[in-house]
């Protein structure tokens, strides 16, 4: 179906291994590089950096593709993976699929960022929401069922998370900014409140909004005694110091998809790569 | 809370009566005009056209405000309601709230269209979806529960309708155009298919897409033996002639909110009017 | 799979026709009798009474098998169907499957009542619940979504109906007698109240309890302004006279499965007959 | 409301502390004994054994009330708690509420077992189900959402668990023995299979049936590659050795309510005690 017949997966964690396995199960030739420390997925062929590039029609890098702007992000590797000029020439015009392209530590002809695609973000809302629920189950001494839950924000994560919480039997309130979103929230049978005027009393609060929604005043008003799970990317949306002063437990949960469900996360990367290949007719 | 203390509801059907009652229950002064044929809602004060305009701080017209471009749309009235020059002057700068402003058959200083607001459209997806389900329950000889249902389109109505069908126990497939919407659909546990390549076999098909999705070829392929409920505004999204040739029952269901749930529809109009008043500080 | 290879369906309405069609689709030989007035299902072979009995390994009668204790219940027939002595002898030891065996107007060797089986009753809770919802949608001027609904009784119908109502977005309260059922109700996220002390205010009340739960006192206390759908078999569980005095609309909805979903009802009869055949090794 | 005005909570873990706190919040006098190692709940008054018995109208013991048949079960205590003859006389006719009365290591006039009540068992199905889901989320590398889940058994836990899994977006199959339960399962939109003939392929299997359902044959047939969470009390319903041979991961999860949700478990104990008091008019 694609012109690309062989994939080289370089760097990454368990997500990339699941991604590699799943691509192999689809009948493509797959090899990996940078996974010396893996203790499973032994069916996957590991090659040296130059070998894998030569052998592969396309390269898949992890999310983020680099953490230090120099090495490929490869936590399962014993040593750093650096793409030098010679390796760069080997890559040449081969398609490179990566997460967070702005961190890519080398030049090449065709780069595609799978992490800024809309369906990628939506699909990741599922493992993020499950990860958040797992944290809440672990940290909260009661059950989610019949607890009062607030989901702040009705974007991708808020939408998926609110439905899951209700599916477990929580009493769900969702905050949103627009009247339109509040109408959608009510249509699901949830309470809708305005993000500009948070109110109520909750057992568990999930924040998905990436700015300071839960300042000291709001924490004191609605979060006393609650568990707060902050899902907003750094610096988060909660005044952590104020929370500590108030004795409110806050968990700042980042990068949940890879932690909570590496298999699903790997599939989501694969799907995004396939979608790019289809759209770009690679 | 508002500067407006009295409302005149002119024309419309049961929705406007429920809207009027609900505004009155909120403590405002309300009078109505153009409802001689009503046989309930007797607590509402009916006035002559000029009286009601003089007495009211604001006027609420129905959706659509006019059907013939001349008279106010007033199916419960014995005679036509025409706003002549003298009445126009009486209205002057008083706020007029109406549905489908482009059909307004007179001039005035302040007109607000409640029907083009986003939250209005979302809220109406609820009575539309229930109306569609009522039709399906009435026309289909089996139960919705455990039937194979296709919802074509994942806009406002598709979103609400799919969840309701699943809530009754249907096996739900939703078609959408974007990969993003397909990801949302799958996150709800539904099957997602592409609107460009409808496939499968269904007992009941709900169309929400306002262009010819169900042409004769598609009907023959996926709708044989199915009930089709077309919710798309005229001319709809189904080739009705082809359906008849194929022996496929199609119900073209229009204006469901007012028919299926006039009370809820009246509340939705009230909410939209209140939202305008709040935003415009009237 | 069964020793029985041919079925004769005698009497009944659309349910029996759907039952007949479905058995035929399973590969058995099927003929019908007592359906002169049908205007569809033309693929089904209609035979005279004696012919059908001679030709069939087993007979399926409707629910109830007789209404007057003399004729087979056959609303689609032009004339009465009476099993006289000669016909009785023709039946002999052939298995006869019927609903409400106590009304069977003749003697025979092997009679099986499908209508008193537990799975039959549970499966019928689905079309009953959908029928009740269709009535509520038709009679109530608001939407089920976000309305306050009371389901009185948490037996088979109560269980299925409460979940469906919640699935449409209603605010659901369920009454039950036992603490155990109240715990199950709460586990679904519904409000639980005691059937001995009904309380609250509702938009729509569904009664499933077959004794006088809604007497004049209770109606006045919790049902003022509500729509009441009484699903309890005659004489029902509502004081209809008191309701009329109080201006409360009550719909006494009986025999919903056959009315709301004859196709599903026919499948349920078929399933029960098959289950009997399997258990009895007929 | 009750004649009992003061409660003594002796022994137990965090559940009993939450139970004690909640009773105190209802306005009763509460003291505790056997919690020297607690590091929170400091508002609760701790007394010596004899003191607490003298001071209290009723005694609440944990579940189980004893593990060794000699000491009160008191994991938060520094030393054993033994009820000797003198203490027994102090208790006299005061009501004693305990879990697993057959393990009670002393005699007294009025003993009530809260743990064998039906509503207690149903309410505990909620924390058990959430605990099972937390384990599955933790152990399974994919998401519950869109995974294939089997729930074996449709008793209390099966009923609650299946709904929660579906609420998260899993594809749910439930096995049951009776046709009646299979009908209930299908009415919820789940696949129903027979416990006598387990079939299919699953990502996660939850067993609630307390006998050997998952023998080596069945494991090999339907559980290869799956995570198995066994919720059946010892010895469980899974052949653990066979599972290990087959490389199938099994978690035998016991006593989940106290572990996963001690607060909810404490409330459930309180509710059961209150129900006994009400029924027995203590």
At B54-85, the pLDDT tens digits run 999 999 999 999 999 999 999 999 988 999 99
Q: Under DSSP, is residue B72 helix (H, G, I), strand (E, B) or coil?
A: strand
Which of A144, A189, A190, A191 should we substitute to test contact with C (largest number of C Cβ atoms within 10 Å)? A189
Whether residue A196 lies within 8 A of chain B, CB to CB, comes out as: no
Distance between CA C252 and CA C132 in Å, rounded?
Answer: 10
Q: Locate the chain D residue with the closest alpha carbon to C121.
A: D180
Beta pairing class for D204-207 and D227-230? parallel
In chain C, which residues have their Cβ closer than 8 Å to the Cβ of B140? 261, 263
Confidence of residue C251 (pLDDT cuts 50, 70, 90): very high
- At B1, the pLDDT band (50, 70, 90 cuts) reads low
Could you tell me if B133 lies within 8 Å of chain A, comparing CB atoms? no
Closest among C158, C161, C171 to C130, alpha carbons compared? C161
What's phi and psi for A192, nearest 5 deg? -115, 130
d(CA A187, CA A48): 55
Q: Residue B146 is nearest to which of D166, D169, D186, comparing CB atoms?
A: D186
CA distance C208 to B215: 45
Q: What is the DSSP letter of A69?
A: S
For residue range B80-100, list pLDDT tens digits in order: 899 999 999 999 999 999 999
Chains in contact with B, where contact requires at least 3 CB pairs less than 8 Å apart: A, C, D
Interface partners of chain C (CB pairs < 8 Å, 3 or more) are A, B, D
Give me A67's structure tokens.
């953490």
Q: Which residues of C touch B137 (CB under 8 A)?
A: 130-131, 133-134, 137, 260
Mean pLDDT of chain C: 96
Contact B127, B264 (CB under 8 A): yes
Q: Which residues of A touch B159 (CB under 8 A)?
A: 184, 187
Among the listed residues A7, A17, A135, the one whose alpha carbon sits nearest the alpha carbon of residue A75: A17
Residue B265: pLDDT over 80: yes
Phi/psi for D32 (5° steps) reads -130, 160
Q: What φ, ψ does residue D250 adopt, rounded to 5°?
A: -120, 135
Average pLDDT over residues D17-31: 97
Q: How far is A256 from chain D (nearest CA, A)?
A: 11
Q: Does C264 touch chain B (CB under 8 A)?
A: yes
Whole-number average pLDDT of chain D: 96
Q: Which of B130, B138, B141 minimises the CB distance to C168?
A: B130
Q: Name the DSSP letter for residue B142.
A: S
**Closest Cα in chain B, distance from residue C169 (Å):** 7
Interface test with A, best of D22, D125, D168, D265 (most A CBs within 10 A): D168
Of B145, B171, B186, the CB nearest to D187: B145
Cα B227 from chain centre: 22
Helix (H, G, I), strand (E, B) or coil at B55: helix
The pLDDT value recorded for residue B33 is 97
Q: How confident is the model over C147-165, as pLDDT tens digits?
A: 999 999 999 999 999 999 9
Residue with tokens 């409110």: A248
Q: What is the DSSP letter of B233?
A: P
Distance from CA of B191 to the nearest CA of A (A): 14
Residue of D93, D111, D87, D79 whose CA lies nearest to D11: D79
| Residue contacts between B and C (CB atoms, under 8 Å) | 86
pLDDT (tens digit per residue) in C101-120: 999 999 999 999 999 999 99
- Judge whether C206 and C164 are in contact, CB under 8 Å: no
Given this model, what pLDDT does residue D268 score?
Answer: 98
Residues of A in contact with D168 (CB under 8 A): 130, 133, 164, 167-168
pLDDT digit string, tens, across residues C25-55: 999 999 999 999 998 999 999 999 999 999 9
Among A122, A178, A179, the residue with its CB nearest the CB of B183 is: A122
Adjacent-strand bridge partners of B45: B31
Place of tokens 């909260």: A140
* pLDDT bracket for residue D43 (50, 70, 90): very high
C145 touches chain A (CB under 8 A): yes
Searching chain B, which residue's CA lies closest to the CA of residue D190?
B169
In order, the DSSP letters of chain C are --S--EEEEES--HHHHHHHHHHHHTT-EEEEES-TT-SS-TTSEE--HHHHHHH-SEEE--SSS-SSSSSB--TT-SS-B---HHHHHHHTTSEEEESSGGG--S--SEEEEGGG-HHHHHHHHHHHHHHHHHHHHHH-SS-STT-EEEEE--SHHHHHHHHHHHHHT-EEEEEESSHHHHHHHHHTT-EEEEGGG--S--SEEEE--SS--B-HHHHHHH-TT-EEEE-SPTT-SB-HHHHHHTT-EEEE--SHHHHH-HHHHHHHHHHHHHHHHHHHT-
DSSP state of A21: H
pLDDT of residue D1: 55
CB contact under 8 A, D169 and B187: yes
Q: What is the mean pLDDT of residues D66-87?
A: 94
Confidence check: pLDDT of D238 > 60 = yes
Say what the pLDDT of residue C1 is: 55
Q: Which residues on neighbouring strands pair with residue C29, listed in sequence order?
A: C6
pLDDT digit string, tens, across residues C224-246: 999 999 999 989 999 999 999 99
Reply yes or no on whether the pLDDT at A146 is more than 90.
Answer: yes
Beta bridge partners of B250: B228
φ, ψ (nearest 5 deg) of residue C29: -80, 130
Chain C residues with CB-CB distance to D267 below 8 A: none
Sheet strand arrangement including C227-230: C191-194, C171-176, C148-152, C204-207, C227-230, C249-252
Give D-chain residues touching B166 at CB under 8 angstroms: 189
pLDDT of residue C8: 98
Across the interface, do D164 and A141 touch by the CB < 8 Å criterion? no
Q: Is D211 on the interface with A (CB under 8 A)?
A: no
- The two beta strands, B148-152 and D249-252, are unpaired
HSE, CB side, 13 Å, CA atoms: give it for residue B78: 3
Q: Which of B133, B141, B260 sits opposite C261 (nearest CB)?
A: B141
| CA nearest to A264 within chain D | D142
For A27-61, how does the pLDDT look when each residue is reduced to its tens digit (9 = 90+)? 999 999 999 999 899 999 999 999 999 999 999 99
Cβ contacts of C131 on chain B, cutoff 8 Å: 137
Are the Cβ atoms of C126 and D187 closer than 8 angstroms? Answer: yes
> To the nearest whole percent, how much of chain A has pLDDT over 70?
100
Q: Which residues contact A197 (CB under 8 A, 6 or more apart)?
A: none
From the list B127, B143, B166, which residue is nearest C143 (CB)? B127
How close is the nearest chain C Cα to the Cα of A153, in Å?
21
- pLDDT band of residue D234 (cuts 50, 70, 90) is confident
The span from the CA of D215 to the CA of D199, in Å, is: 13
Residues of B in contact with D170 (CB under 8 A): 189
Contact D61, D26 (CB under 8 A): no
Q: Which of residues 151-170 of D touch B (CB under 8 A)?
A: 166, 169-170
Q: Please name the residue that has the structure tokens 């759907």.
A: C18
Average pLDDT over every residue of C69-96: 94
Mean local confidence (pLDDT), C10-35: 97
Q: Which positions ≥6 away from C105 have C-beta within 8 Å? A: C65, C66, C69, C70, C71, C72, C82, C83
Give the predicted TM-score (pTM) of the model.
0.96
* CA dist., res. C159 & res. C132, Å (int): 13
For residues B163 and B182, what is the distance between their CA atoms, to the nearest angstrom? 14
Q: How confident is the model at residue B39 (pLDDT cuts 50, 70, 90)?
A: confident
CB C170 within 8 A of CB A126: no
Q: Which residues of A184-219 are buried (b: 16+ CB within 10 A; e: fewer)?
A: bbbbbbbebbebeebeeebbbbbbbbbeebbeeebb
Q: Does B177 touch chain A (CB under 8 A)?
A: no
Q: Hey, is the C-beta of C96 within 8 angstroms of any chain D C-beta?
A: no
Q: Which residue has the tokens 């708690």?
A: D81
Separation between Cα atoms, residue D124 and residue D131, nearest integer Å: 11
Q: What is the pLDDT of residue A39?
A: 86
Instruction: Name all chains with 3 or more CB-CB pairs below 8 Å to chain A.
Output: B, C, D
State the Rg of chain B over Cα: 21
Question: What pLDDT is attached to residue C190?
Answer: 95
The span from the CA of D262 to the CA of D270, in Å, is 12
> Which of B76-80, C122-126, C162-166, D214-218 comes out lowest in average pLDDT?
B76-80
Question: Residue A1 — pLDDT band, cuts 50, 70, 90?
Answer: low
pLDDT tens by residue, D83-93: 999 999 999 99
Report the alpha-carbon distance of residue B280 to residue B273 in Å, rounded: 10
List of residues 6+ apart from C24 with CB closer than 8 A: C30, C43, C44
Residue A234 scores a pLDDT above 90: no
User: Tokens 């005149």 identify what position?
Assistant: B8
> What residues contact A138, with CB distance under 8 A and at least 6 apart?
D134
**A202 close to A148: Cβ distance less than 8 angstroms:** yes
Average pLDDT, stretch A82-102? 95
With contact defined as beta carbons under 8 Å apart, do A154 and A184 qualify?
A: yes
User: For D249-265, what is each residue's pLDDT tens digit?
Assistant: 999 999 999 999 999 99
Q: Region D113-140: what's the mean pLDDT?
A: 97
- Domains of chain D from N-terminus onward: 6-116 (3.40.50.720), 120-258 (3.40.50.720)
Confidence of residue C2 (pLDDT cuts 50, 70, 90): confident
Which 48-77 residues of chain B touch chain C by CB within 8 A? none
Mean of the pLDDT values across residues D127-135? 98
Cα–Cα distance, D145 to D168 (Å, whole number): 6
Q: Which residue of chain A is at minimal alpha-carbon distance from C191?
A: A146
**Chain D residues whose beta carbon lies within 8 Å of the beta carbon of residue B187:** 145, 169
| Dihedral pair phi/psi, residue C249, rounded to 5° | -80, 125
Mean pLDDT of D194-222: 95
- Whether residue A231 contacts residue A207, with contact meaning beta carbons closer than 8 Å, is answered with yes
pLDDT > 70 in chain D, percent: 100
Closest partner residue to A167 among D141, D166, D261, by Cβ? Answer: D166
- D275 Cβ under 8 Å from any chain C Cβ: yes
Q: How confident is the prediction for chain B on average, in pLDDT?
A: 96
The stretch B233-262 carries a mean pLDDT of 95
C32 contacts C266 by C-beta, under 8 angstroms: no
For chain D, the DSSP string reads --S--EEEEES--HHHHHHHHHHHHTT-EEEEES-TT-SS-TTSEE--HHHHHHH-SEEE--SSS-SSSSSB--TT-SS-B---HHHHHHHTTSEEEESSGGG--S--SEEEEGGG-HHHHHHHHHHHHHHHHHHHHHH-SS-STT-EEEEE--SHHHHHHHHHHHHHT-EEEEEESSHHHHHHHHHTT-EEEEGGG--S--SEEEE--SS--B-HHHHHHH-TT-EEEE-SPTT-SB-HHHHHHHT-EEEE--SHHHHH-HHHHHHHHHHHHHHHHHHHT-
ipTM for this model: 0.94
Q: Please name the residue of chain B whose CA is at the shortest distance from the CA of residue D184.
A: B169
Instruction: Tell me the nearest-neighbour CA distance from C123 into chain D, angstroms.
Output: 6
- Show residues of chain C in contact with B169, CB under 8 Å: 126, 163-164, 167
- Measured between CB atoms, does C126 come within 8 Å of chain D? yes
3-class SS string, A169-221? CCEEEEEECCHHHHHHHHHCCCEEEEHHHCCCCCCEEEECCCCCCECHHHHHH
Q: Does C3 touch chain D (CB under 8 A)?
A: no
CB D137 within 8 A of CB A136: no
Identify any residues that bridge with A152 across adjacent strands, giving them in sequence order.
A175, A207
């Amino acid at each position: 179906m694609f012109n690309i017949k062989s994939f080289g997966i370089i760097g990454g964690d368990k997500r990339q291994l699941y991604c590699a396995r799943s691509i192999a199960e689809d009948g493509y030739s797959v090899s990996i590089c940078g996974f010396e420390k893996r203790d499973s997925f032994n069916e996957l062929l590991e090659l040296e950096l130059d070998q894998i590039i030569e052998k592969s029609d396309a390269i898949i890098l992890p999310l983020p593709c680099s953490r230090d702007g120099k090495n490929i992000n490869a936590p399962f590797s014993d040593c750093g993976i650096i793409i030098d000029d010679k390796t760069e020439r080997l890559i040449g015009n081969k398609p490179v699929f990566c997460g967070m392209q702005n961190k890519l530590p080398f030049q090449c002809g065709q780069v595609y960022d799978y992490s800024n695609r809309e369906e990628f973000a939506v699909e990741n809302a599922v493992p993020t929401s499950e990860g958040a629920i797992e944290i809440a189950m672990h940290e909260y001494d009661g059950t989610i069922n019949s607890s009062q839950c607030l989901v702040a924000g009705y974007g991708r994560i808020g939408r998926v998370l609110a439905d899951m919480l209700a599916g477990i039997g929580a009493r769900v309130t969702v905050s949103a900014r627009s009247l339109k979103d509040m109408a959608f929230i009510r249509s699901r049978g949830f309470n809708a409140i305005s993000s500009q005027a948070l109110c109520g009393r909750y057992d568990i609060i999930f924040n998905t909004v990436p700015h300071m929604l839960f300042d000291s005043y709001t924490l004191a008003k609605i979060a006393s005694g609650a568990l707060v799970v902050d899902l907003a990317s750094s610096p988060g949306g909660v005044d952590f110091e104020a929370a500590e002063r108030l004795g409110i437990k806050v968990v700042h949960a980042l990068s949940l998809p890879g932690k909570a469900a590496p298999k699903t996360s790997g599939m989501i990367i694969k799907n995004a790569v396939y979608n790019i290949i289809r759209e770009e007719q690679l």
